[in-house]
Structure 1
Amino acid sequence: MIYNKEDIEGFDRVTKLKIINSVTGIKPANLIGTINNKGQSNLAIISSIVHLGSSPALLGFVTRPQTAEVGHTYANIQENEVYTINHIHQGFIKNAHYTSGKFDADISEFKRCNLTEEYIKDFKAPFVKESNFKIGMCFVEAIDIKHNGTKLVIGEIEQLIFPDDAIVDGDIDLEATESIGISGLNSYYSLKKVAKHPYVRIDEVPEF
């Protein structure tokens, strides 16, 4: 199949959302936990988290176009400048998926989707207790993406919480952590390690 821009623009809204959200391949499936100054927690499923650098340790994610109805996560980050990223695992995919609903600000997705808030000392934002791979983030900056009204939200890693056996030969083994991938709007995939290669040095590149 070959689709040009005109074909793509002609898709109905849901078909277009599903296809364009799938073309990058499998993406990490995470829940972002936040809280506002009134103590109201929020939880949102996000599949756009990307590595932006290791020193400092920066991660970014892309918000939906900002409206009063869908801006709770970003508004809470602006208030408190901290948030959490929590890997999704097979045991609570369904719960995590339904946090994507457009709930009112006074409804906590933690409670509505039967997930548990977890807090650690001196860090205000809630983690997801059910997740075994958790990241505490401090807000750094947000970059407006003017073409579609979204934002690239950038944060620095302040906390890392994961199982002792997640480190294998110096690498994080995402198969061992049972982390889940996502494609499109509603398809979830388990992860399986299929290969590992050494750090590339030019004089060690093999003949192919």
Structure 2
Amino acid sequence: MNKKQVKADPKYFNASDIDNMEQRVRANFINSLSGFKSGNLIGTRSPSSKDGTRGVDNLAIVSSVFHIGAHPPLLGMIMRPHTVPRDTLQNIKDTGEYTINHICASIVEKAHWASARFDPQVSEFEEIGLTPQTTDQVKAPYVLESRIKLGMQVQDIQLLAINQTELVIGQVVEVIVEPYWVSEDGYVDIEAAGSVAISSLDSYHLSHRIARLGYAKTNEKPFIMPPKET
């Protein structure tokens, strides 16, 4: 506990208290409650124009990526309501592909800058100083400076009637990662790779692993798995 903090009784926030918060305060408060979230940059490219001019590379920061299934390999991502122009979501709908790039500590400030509302004809890559990278498998741009990168193809997009957000479900079709961060059992050591977590809307964190535990069984106490030898 911080020396300046004084122990006090817990504060109870009811639904009315939350509803009456100032908008930005409520957004920070609620976004903090879900705990640490993965920090990712989503790379997309707008469609080419009719004269053959290549589309504009777009980059957006997202903390709503989550696992859906391993076979086929599916990840979900919640996108904010399309009540104002959402270049990333529109590009995903138009092209059917995108990239997910882990944020690492060395690019945190640039990644956060990607949340600004740049003009649709402006490439965030150029504005914030990150480098686009493409492969034969995925036309959407990766972030060269990211250490774990996923190429995605859209499988489904669902509008959530409760708040008009949109759930994008994509299949992993390519993974770019250094081999020494992948164990023989398939575990990807995102901490060793320096992947950053996000809390609330603007707080960035590096993780510290407590332990990696073996597969849980009803008749056997979980055991601590030894670290990977390097």
TM-score scaled to structure 2, two decimals? 0.86
Q: Alpha carbons of 1:159 and 1:122: their partners in 2 closer, same or farther (altered >3 Å)?
A: closer
Post-superposition CA distance 1:7-64 (Å, at most 9, x none): 0011111111111111011000000000011311110000000000001100000001
SS at match of 2:145: coil
Unaligned 5+ runs, structure 1 = none
Aligned residue in 2 for 1:42: 58
Which deviates further from its counterpart, 158-167 or 82-91? Answer: 158-167
Aligned residue in 1 for 2:89: 74
Q: Give the 5 Å matches for 1:94-109.
A: 94-109=109-124
Counterpart contact for 1:49–1:61, Cα < 8 Å: yes
Opposite residue 128 of structure 2, the aligned amino acid is C
Tell me how far apart the structure 2 counterparts of residues 87 and 118 of structure 1 sit (CA, whole Å): 14
SS at match of 1:93: helix
Matched, 1:158 2:199: no
Q: Give the 5 Å matches for 1:30-179.
A: 30-38=40-48, 39-69=55-85, 71-168=86-183, 170=185, 171-179=187-195
Counterpart contact for 2:42–2:59, Cα < 8 Å: yes
Tell me how far apart the structure 2 counterparts of residues 120 and 182 of structure 1 sit (CA, whole Å): 28
Q: Alpha carbons of 1:198 and 1:122: their partners in 2 closer, same or farther (altered >3 Å)?
A: closer
2:218 to 190, 199, 202: 202
Structure (1 or 2) with the greater strand fraction = 1
SS at match of 1:158: strand
**RMSD, matched Cα:** 1.2
1:191 to 207, 216, 226: 207
Tell me how far apart the structure 2 counterparts of residues 78 and 145 of structure 1 sit (CA, whole Å): 16
Aligned residue in 1 for 2:7: none
Aligned residue in 1 for 2:20: 10
Tell me how far apart the structure 1 counterparts of residues 133 and 83 of structure 2 sit (CA, whole Å): 28
Question: Would you say how many aligned residue pairs link Structure 1 and Structure 2?
Answer: 205
Counterpart contact for 1:77–1:139, Cα < 8 Å: yes
2:30 to 9, 17, 20: 20
Using CA pairs under 8 Å that are at least 6 residues apart, name the structure with larger relative contact order, 1 or 2. Answer: 1
Sequence identity of aligned pairs in percent?
Answer: 38
Opposite residue 33 of structure 1, the aligned amino acid is G
TM-score scaled to structure 1, two decimals? 0.95
Tell me how far apart the structure 1 counterparts of residues 21 and 156 of structure 2 sit (CA, whole Å): 35
Counterpart contact for 1:174–1:191, Cα < 8 Å: no
1:29 to 20, 39, 59: 39
Which deviates further from its counterpart, 167-176 or 26-35? Answer: 167-176
Larger Cα-atom Rg? 2
Unaligned 5+ runs, structure 2 = 1-10, 49-54, 223-230
Deviation at 1:107, TM superposition (A): 1.3
